[in-house]
Amino acid sequence: MNVQMGANENKGPPPSRDLYHLSAQSWNAKFAAGNHYATDRPFAGLVERIAELRRRSLTRVADLGCGDGRNLALLCSLAPHVVGLDYAEQALRRVGRHPDVAGATPNLVRGDIGRLPFRSASLDAAVSVWTMNHGADADIRRYIAEMVRILRPGGIVFASITGWNLLLAVALRFVARRVRDASLDGHTYVLDFRSEKGVHHFFTRREIAVYFRDWRIVRLDRRRYRTESPIPVPFWNLLAEKRRGAGC
């Protein structure tokens, strides 16, 4: 499988994302060393929603932050045209070695989710598993604006993003530095673990409603813990449909 460099249709200024790139570089180093996710299986939250996605007769789907491709074979069973995008080149180079991807034919692109290399209204669906939380308020708004741009009217997004609770608040006081940004509830922190580096945002329910106001929320499920994190992080699984007229 060839790894292509993405060319951005969106010519606007990139987000100020030095800390995002620090996170991406840490993942790149992990994949280069052969360390990746705790499981090769597709993300369980996506598997739960696969029947609903299948009913939509999707043609073009993108996995934004695809990592080593653990969700790509599943997505290839949904749509004839699938692209996996990740900023970490070493992750993309591992996709061909993933046991589930051997019989699938996704296209791979190295790119930034804040400046997606896809034409406007060119995709039916986007998947983003634990990627959109890498950033502060301005970055998150940029990610979502880009998804609005690339999806056709009525297009669907499945996203898994980190959540917030009091237990996490206590843990972060000891292991992370808070970042002051314009987010509604201000739960943005810089992490410096061996497995997680860079800026992360932890979403509340009301923030999701604000960030996704141009979308129809189809499902929003709260999950207790993200098991691959070194601290107990709750997370949200979101299924949302782009409203007609959004982004115009």
Q: What is the DSSP letter of 185?
A: S
**146-161 tens-digit pLDDT:** 999 999 999 999 999 9
Identify the pLDDT of residue 5.
47
**Residue 85 pLDDT grade (very low, low, confident, very high; cuts 50, 70, 90):** very high
How far apart (Å, rounded) are the C-alpha atoms in residues 43 and 64? 14
Token readout for 227 is: 């098991």
Per the CB < 8 A criterion, the answer to whether 112 and 14 are in contact is yes
**219-245 tens-digit pLDDT:** 999 987 755 566 678 999 999 999 987
How far apart (Å, rounded) are the C-alpha atoms in residues 20 and 133? 10
* Percent of the chain with pLDDT strictly greater than 70: 80
Identify the pLDDT of residue 14.
41
Helices and strands (DSSP H and E) totals, the chain: 8, 11
The mean-pLDDT minimum among 75-79, 116-120, 124-128, 192-196 falls in 192-196
Q: For 35-242, give the CATH class.
A: alpha beta
Q: Is the dihedral of CA 170, 18, 114, 61 positive or negative?
A: negative
Identify the pLDDT of residue 30.
72
Q: What ranges in 116-165 are assigned the alpha helix state H? A: 137-150
**91-145 tens-digit pLDDT:** 898 887 766 666 678 899 999 999 999 999 999 999 999 999 989 999 999 999 9
Cα angle value 38/139/42 (rounded, 5°): 25
* Percent of the chain with pLDDT strictly greater than 90: 54
Identify the pLDDT of residue 154.
95
Identify the pLDDT of residue 16.
44
How far apart (Å, rounded) are the C-alpha atoms in residues 235 and 188? 15
Identify the pLDDT of residue 12.
44
Amino acid at 232: P
